[in-house]
Chains A and B, each alone.
Chain A
């Protein structure tokens, strides 16, 4: 079956370290993949989008990689801060349309 998997366990890291979150997928050939942040009681907020022909995308302290051979995306937050604590969701398009399939998210806690 088609599915997306993210780190199921919460990730706890020390402030200043790099957080690395994983998004694996099977049976899809997405044209692009997106990462969102979600805080408790709020809607998801878009962070980064990476296309299938891009290996890496950066935005400030955020970096996303996309390996279509491994069917995996990695999301990195460098110099992490307590304010980065949230749930991070990955989403990919399942076909030639805007419909997105979502992972369950990974909870990140950055400890001061």
Chain B
């Protein structure tokens, strides 16, 4: 199993550009989530999904969209990038049932100029 994979690993955008951060898992996990990690702020939940076709907002959803058309994939879309979205983004997944550990991807380091 590859676990949780994320692409790209690094990305530089200009203000106003849009892009999609990709996340995939091959463990058949129902629950998937996106976090951003900033110095002094810790990990903050952006969006999450409890299964294909179901998504919900986390703590900091503004400026981001998600969709979950398959169990495996959970892309995160930045609609119009802003410098405040410069961060490290992590995707995580966990199997069904409460509670359970979360498996994290390697992260995407995004810089918005």
Contact = CB atoms under 8 A, between A and B. Distances in A.
Given A43-B106, A89-B42, A99-B48, 15 more contacts: A43-B4, A43-B107, A44-B90, A44-B104, A45-B104, A46-B102, A49-B100, A89-B43, A91-B43, A97-B98, A99-B58, A100-B45, A103-B42, A104-B42, A105-B42
B106 A98 contact: no
The range of chain A's interface size is 20 to 34
Interface string B76-111: 000000000000001010100011111111110000
Contacts, number: 55
B31 A43 contact: no
Contacts of A91: 43
Secondary structure of the B contact surface, majority rule: strand
B42 A43 contact: no
Interface of B: 4, 31, 33, 40-45, 48, 50, 58, 90, 92, 94, 98-107
